[in-house]
């Protein structure tokens, strides 16, 4: 077989992050229900309630020590650890949390490609913080997610998506792993073949039959042979094991929320200041909505005080809204209900989520 005549083009100029939340659903439940912390936690309905049916969506790291993992039957999980807490998941809620995580990502770049609720690629080659170091950006994102949402994630930093994902997977939880161009080939060669993206359960046995167990084995195969054996995947694997993956980060253009916030170095105490800020924020949110041709159904107020961490409170309305006055009205209503007057306010934010295009439904003013 002829060897490849032209060197592969490898774009080393990009800075790609892959962020993956740690035990996502389980961590959200632990955050909201501290009594669950410190014990094995399985996100599934208790098998006793379902006559043994049901599947584990995820488990915290303590439960994983018993061999419990995603996609296992809840019954099996119960057998492995009868004392574990079983909590049914709330997908809609996790979707909202995911939205909040994405709002943080978008403070760094709009080149965000969601993979799953808890996982995304970010191209930070150019970024809103104008910071050059991918590592520094990854650390900032991890810190911000922790500060604002009390959730942890693992981050991978590299020059392409494939390596960034391998990196984020390398150390979990709370990992931050960097794969530089120099390290890529060595890293890939020692990697078990099943870790290569696209090599699924069906392909692994075939790879093994053909004597391919690691990246090193894969590296020894020539391109034509790999294409003959594995088609498109062979083509891609030939490149991946050489650290080449030029796939762009494809931003999800659909905006799911619009939010604006302000932090105050001198905390606000006077209600007039709060009202003025809420009005400004509502104005900005309404402008952004108009620009995006969107209207939304859920108004979210975010507040940080000197006493407690960031909290968010939401109101879901009967109809879709986009007007400044209406957004302000509900944001203020939430503010009143929180009864925080007199507390030092360090951050205020208004977000409208549950968005649809403006043309979707006729706009009805919700105020009678
Ligand atoms: P993962 O990122 O695969 O898992 P995880 O975040 O729970 O744990 P890790 O720390 O290893 O990243 O999946 C993200 C969420 O998706 C997970 O919390 C639950 C959900 N999920 C399912 O519902 N079914 C599944 O089979 C898997 C794998 C995940
Ligand atoms: Mg995860």
Is the confidence at residue 351, as pLDDT, over 60? yes
CA–CA distance, 20 with 120 (Å, rounded to integer): 7
Q: Which ligand is nearest to the CA of 94?
A: 1
pLDDT at position 80 is: 98
Mean pLDDT of the region 17-27: 98
CA dihedral sign of residues 207, 210, 213, 219: negative
Which residue's alpha carbon is nearest to atom 5 within ligand 1? Answer: 23
Give me the pLDDT at residue 4, please: 52
- Please provide residue 322's backbone torsions phi and psi, each rounded to the nearest 5 degrees: -150, -5
Pairing type for strands 345-357 and 294-305 reads antiparallel
**Average pLDDT of span 99-106:** 94
User: Which residues lie across from 114 on neighbouring strands?
Assistant: 120
pLDDT of 1 reads 53
Q: Distance from the CA of 58 to the center of ligand 1, in angstroms?
A: 5
- Which atom of ligand 1 is closest in space to residue 43's alpha carbon? 19
| Residue 258 backbone phi and psi in degrees, to 5 | -130, 125
CA distances from 238 to 217, 229, 279 (A): 11, 12, 56
pLDDT tens sequence across 274-325: 999 999 999 999 999 998 888 999 999 999 998 877 889 999 999 999 999 9
Cα torsion 130, 245, 104, 147: sign: negative
Q: With a cut of 80, say whether residue 6 has pLDDT above it.
A: no
Local structure of 299: helix, strand or coil: strand
Pairwise CA distance, residues 308 & 226, whole Å: 57
Q: Tell how far the Cα of 102 is from the centroid of ligand 1, in angstroms.
A: 17
Q: Which residue has its alpha carbon closest to ligand 1 atom 24?
A: 57
Q: Where are the beta strands (DSSP E) in the chain?
A: 16-21, 41-43, 58-59, 85-87, 112-116, 119-123, 153-158, 176-178, 257-268, 294-305, 311-321, 345-357
Q: In this predicted model, what pLDDT tens digit does every residue of 237-275 receive, in sequence order?
A: 999 999 999 999 998 766 778 999 999 999 999 999 999
Stretch 166-195: mean pLDDT, rounded? 96
Write down the pLDDT at residue 16: 98
In this structure, how many other beta carbons lie within 10 angstroms of the beta carbon of residue 83? 8
Residues with CB under 5 A from ligand 2 (ion): 20-21, 24, 118
- 359, pLDDT greater than 70: no
The per-residue pLDDT for 197 is: 87
Q: Are strands 345-357 and 257-268 parallel, antiparallel or unpaired?
A: antiparallel
Pocket of ligand 1 (CB under 6 A): 20-25, 57-58, 70-71, 116-119, 172-173
**Mean pLDDT of the 32-38 span:** 97
Task: Write down the pLDDT at residue 92.
Answer: 84
What is the model's pLDDT at position 223? Answer: 95
Residue that has been written with the tokens 């800020």 in this structure: 277
* CA separation for the pair 185, 244 (Å, rounded): 10
């Amino acid at each position: 077989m002829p060897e490849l005549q032209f060197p592969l083009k490898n774009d080393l100029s990009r800075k790609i992050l892959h962020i993956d939340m740690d035990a996502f659903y389980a961590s959200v439940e632990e955050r909201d229900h501290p009594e669950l912390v410190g014990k094995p936690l399985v996100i599934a309905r208790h098998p006793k309630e379902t006559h043994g049916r049901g599947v584990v969506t995820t488990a915290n790291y303590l439960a994983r020590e018993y061999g419990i993992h995603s996609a296992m039957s809840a019954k099996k999980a119960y057998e492995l650890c009868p004392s574990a807490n079983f909590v049914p998941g709330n997908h809609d809620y996790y979707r909202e949390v995911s939205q909040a995580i994405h709002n943080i990502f978008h403070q760094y770049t709009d080149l965000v490609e969601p993979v799953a609720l808890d996982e995304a690629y970010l191209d930070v080659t150019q970024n809103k913080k104008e910071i050059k170091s991918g590592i520094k950006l990854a650390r900032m994102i991890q810190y911000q997610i922790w500060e604002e949402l009390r959730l942890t994630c693992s981050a991978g930093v590299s020059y392409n998506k494939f390596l960034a994902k391998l990196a984020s997977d390398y150390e979990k939880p709370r990992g931050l792993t960097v794969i530089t161009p120099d390290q890529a080939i060595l890293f890939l060669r020692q990697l078990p073949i099943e870790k290569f993206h696209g090599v699924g359960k069906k392909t692994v046995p075939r790879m093994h039959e053909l004597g391919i167990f690691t990246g090193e084995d894969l590296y020894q195969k020539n391109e034509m042979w790999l294409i003959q054996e594995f088609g498109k995947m062979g083509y891609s694997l030939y490149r991946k094991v050489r650290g080449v993956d030029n796939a762009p980060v494809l931003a999800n253009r659909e905006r799911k929320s619009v939010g604006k916030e302000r932090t105050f170095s001198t905390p606000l105490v006077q209600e007039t200041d709060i009202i003025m800020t809420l009005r400004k924020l509502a104005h900005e949110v309404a402008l952004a909505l108009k620009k995006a041709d969107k209207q939304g159904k859920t108004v979210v107020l975010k507040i940080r005080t000197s006493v407690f961490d960031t909290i968010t409170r939401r109101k879901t309305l009967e109809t879709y809204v986009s007007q400044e006055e209406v957004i302000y009205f509900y944001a203020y209503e939430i503010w009143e209900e929180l009864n925080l007057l007199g507390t030092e306010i360090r951050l205020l934010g208004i977000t409208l989520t549950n968005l649809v295009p403006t043309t979707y439904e006729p706009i009805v003013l919700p105020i009678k």
